[in-house]
Structure 1
Amino acid sequence: MPFFDAENTSLYYEEQGSGHPILLLAPGGLRSSIPYWERVAWNPIQELSAHYRVITMDQRNAGQSSARVTGQETWATYASDQLSLLDHLGIDRFHVLGMCIGGSFIAKLATTAPERITAAVVAQTIGQDDNLATFREIFDEWSTGLVSTHPEADDTAWQKYWNALFINDNRVFSVPDAELTNIRAPLLVLNGDDRFHPAVASRALVDAVPDAQFIERWKEPEELSAAREAVSEFLKRHTPV
């Protein structure tokens, strides 16, 4: 099984297909991992691997990936993991598609390494809208499940982890609202419409990025086919020749 090991971190990843690279960032919150693609309305892996080199991964301490917990983790830590994996694979420029927490990951990637992203698709990003208690509950469930395998982390380390990711005023958590305007990659946003994925977070991305495309309704069967076609056309249009 393919793992990329670096700096007390072991990242599990998979590759399928060939062509221009596309990184898929799975839903699942901090449990973001490859199997979560099977749990949502649209699993893009097989569809996209017919045309692209698809890279999927389990985020640190999710799925088969692992990392020490230090209390120094931030959204930049996750972006560094993702970019380091792509460097390991010899990939410079790439498309990226993410769902749920994948939207927050993409916002950080797109403002950290804007020159590397050729196109970005964000589906129902997580975000803030008077729902922090919901995210705290999810964080506590995730961290409690890791305590026994991370004796190096005390309560202070876990609290710092939480604070760094979620205690801020950022609509999509990972990037200050004012910095969303620094996203330069072509962007397609599929709307969120529930407590975990509030519409205001999707709208914050659309409003910040000039010429961003927006699909408001896409989850129902009669809507999903058209949305998938729109994603396909968007990625094709922005794939370097």
Structure 2
Amino acid sequence: MRRAITRDGAAVAYQTAGRGTPLLLLAGQANTHHWWDGVREDFEDGYRTITLDWLGTGASDKPDRPYSTRGFAADAVAVLDDLGVERAHVYGTSMGGRVAQWLAADHPERVGALVLGCTSPGGAHGVERDNTVRRSLAQPDREAARRALLDLMYTPAWTATHPGPQQTLGDPELPGFARRRHLAASAGHDAWDALPGITAPTLVIHGTDDRFNPAANAPLLAERIRGAALHLVNGARHAYFEEFRALASPAVLTFLDGEVTG
């Protein structure tokens, strides 16, 4: 565990494992690097994986100020700088995929290949979750809301055989103000105008049954980013990368390996 200092003086905790070409893994909203625990080792034979705890989570500082996906992208650059990594492949999922869009758009020289998982362009062009999903997550009964989130992340067949604890349901130590700041950052994301300027080879990957971040966002991203490839994981919900690991990780590795050797 090391800590990088951002432009405004906040400390971002980050972690590395494996060896080879740097691969920056960006987690979902209100989550720490533990989001990747179930699949990180899939990438460690050929890649030096780099993860971080977003501001407000884990071992990072928790300033009570507005957060943004574009600001989180700048924080990721601070991590790369602290490591002395000039260029890395980037795999972002959920809110991490929104951050990855800005990373590739604002810092093209720092991004090799780009993978955008279960994410959205945001703004007026993004497809939002429906009101039924919104209500299920906003109910005052915290345990009921947690069960609703679990159902959006995984299929019942998975949860029946994987009792957890699941690492994708948010940082359990997250302060209330940070949870609200993360929600606002993700909701405020709008990279639509920047997407055509992304030059990194891009793979968009999404579960077909994702209602948390609707799968209709995947073709929007793939069509908006020049030359992007689209891969849909049939039957997968939001946490496709974990439950459908046997399909998703090889698809991502095939794409990344092709960019390394190509």
- TM-score after normalising by structure 1: 0.76
The root-mean-square deviation of aligned C-alpha atoms, in Å, is 3.4
Contact 1:16 1:55 in 2 (8 A): yes
- 1:101 deviates by 1.2
CA, structure 1 residues 36+165, in 2 after alignment: closer, same or farther (shift >3 Å)?
closer
Counterpart residue number, 1:33: 32
Q: Pick from 188, 198, 204 the counterpart of residue 203 of structure 2.
A: 188
Counterpart residue number, 1:233: 254
Counterpart residue number, 1:111: 105
1:5-26 deviation line (CA, Å, top 9, x unaligned): 3434221111111211110001
Contact 1:121 1:231 in 2 (8 A): yes
Secondary structure of 1:3's aligned partner: strand
Q: Which runs of 5+ in 1 are unaligned?
A: 151-157, 168-172
Amino acid at match of 1:202: A
Contact 1:24 1:56 in 2 (8 A): yes
Contact 2:12 2:52 in 1 (8 A): yes
Contact 2:128 2:213 in 1 (8 A): no
Secondary structure of 1:194's aligned partner: coil
CA, structure 1 residues 18+70, in 2 after alignment: closer, same or farther (shift >3 Å)?
same
- 1:103 deviates by 1.1
1:164-210 deviation line (CA, Å, top 9, x unaligned): 6524xxxxx341x2321111111111124423211122111101122
Counterpart residue number, 2:233: 217
Secondary structure of 1:216's aligned partner: strand
Identical amino acids, percent of aligned pairs: 28
Count of aligned residue pairs for this structure pair: 218
Counterpart residue number, 1:68: 63
Is it true that 1:50 corresponds to 2:45 in the alignment? yes
Q: Which runs of 5+ in 2 are unaligned?
A: 143-169
- 1:115 deviates by 2.0
In structure 2, what is the Cα distance between the partners aligned to 1:86 and 1:240? 22
- TM-score after normalising by structure 2: 0.71
CA, structure 1 residues 85+222, in 2 after alignment: closer, same or farther (shift >3 Å)?
closer
Counterpart residue number, 1:170: none
